[in-house]
Amino acid sequence: MLEWTYAGINFSAKSTEPWADDGGIECAAHSTLRQRLFETILTVIVASYEIYYATYHAKSQIGTSFPREYARERQGRPSVLRRLVLVCYALLWGIEIGFKIASRQLIYILNPCHMVTLIQIILLTFSSNYYTRGLYRLHAGMLNGGTLAIYFPVTATRLFPFEVELYYIQHILILLVPIFLLSSHGGYSLEPVGSFRWTIIAIATFRFYHYFVLQPFSLLTWVNLNGVLCPFQFDPFIGRYYRLWAHVHQTLFMIIHHKLFSVVARTCIQFDIRRSMYYIKRQDKPEQPMQQPIDFSDIIKDE
């Protein structure tokens, strides 16, 4: 039933390793079902505790309350620039889906970076509310995939002209769009650097997604979605327990990446020229009644 989504993948393409990165019977046989079941149960226990801890015990940390609504979020329709970014971003993602359908590799659309792209399109589309503000903070902890994809590109399955270039454009935008959303007066805010509540929830969500979405599809199709079926060639922990090692190094990497991204994003917002010009323009109107200067600190952190 799913064959049309992966019929274009060449499982016979071998590399220096006994299994191919894209999948195949050797890739599927890398781990036994018993080992996969053990790792899945262990992941459920760890991820469930992480969500429980982040939901109930991390509330005492400063700044971990749910991002609240700000007055300027109700200032009407999104800006022209934001709608333009949305149209271009959605068009690029549509072209990406078209490439996947044409090459009969649509199953790769399940990879985490494509899901993060979809989340960002949703955030660009809808105005800020209780759910989108939480979704923004959640997805901000999942941006590590964009950085990994740039440093360790997997482009062997991209056969059409401009498909490889589109790969890099998409993953660069994954890192830039969240910063744009912060500076576009959309009401979004990042988790305080000293807080780890949303970081932990993002890590737990990634665990569930890999083992309960990617793993079943990989076992049914023998397609190595994001390395859940067998390790990639560049994985430094190639071996029987590479997934357990991935829990360790990817957890650390997601924490470090999230906090470094927060610092970089806040630095970029401080040098937002459009915000400064808007503030100066309001100050240059003496004929209007005195108003309280706009406080932009809520873009950077919760009060």
Residue-wise pLDDT for 69-90, tens only, equals 443 444 456 678 888 999 999 9
Confidence bin at 93 (pLDDT 50/70/90): very high
E-state strands within 60-180: none
State the pLDDT at residue 301. Answer: 47
The reported pLDDT for the residue numbered 70 is 47
Tokens of residue 186, six digits: 């959309």
- List, in order, residues 6 or more apart from 205 with CB less than 8 Å away: 138, 142
Taking residues 148-152, what's their average pLDDT?
90
Task: Give the rounded percent of residues in the chain with a pLDDT score beyond 90.
Answer: 49
Give the confidence band of 16 by pLDDT, cuts at 50, 70, 90: very low
Residue 235 has pLDDT above 50, yes or no: yes
Q: Is the dihedral of CA 116, 139, 224, 14 positive or negative?
A: positive
CA distances (Å), origin 5, targets 52, 75, 131, 154: 36, 43, 32, 19
- For CA atoms 260, 261, 266, 272, give the dihedral sign: positive
Cα dihedral 133→137→142→144 (10° resolution): 120
What is the pTM for the complete model shown?
0.82
pLDDT digits (tens, 9 = 90+) for 173-232: 999 999 999 887 667 888 888 888 899 999 999 999 999 999 999 999 999 999 899 888
Q: Rounded mean pLDDT of 119-139?
A: 90
- Cβ atoms within 10 Å, residue 164: 14
The rounded distance, in Å, linking the Cα atoms of 214 and 43 is 14
Q: Give the pLDDT confidence score for residue 299 in this predicted structure.
A: 44
Q: What is the per-residue pLDDT across 246-295, written as a single tens digit (0 to 9) for each?
A: 999 999 999 999 999 999 998 887 765 455 555 555 555 555 555 555 44
Q: What is the mean pLDDT of residues 108-112?
A: 94
Q: Where are the beta strands (DSSP E) in the chain?
A: none
Are 58 and 197 in contact, with CB atoms under 8 Å apart? yes
Cβ pair 92, 168 in contact under 8 A = no
Instruction: Please tell me the distance from the alpha carbon of residue 227 to that of residue 28, in angstroms, as a whole number.
Output: 11
Instruction: Please report which helix (H) or strand (E) contains residue 55, including its range.
Output: none
Average pLDDT across the chain, whole number:
82
Nearest-CA neighbor of 149 among 114, 181, 122? Answer: 114
pLDDT computed for residue 156 by the predictor: 76
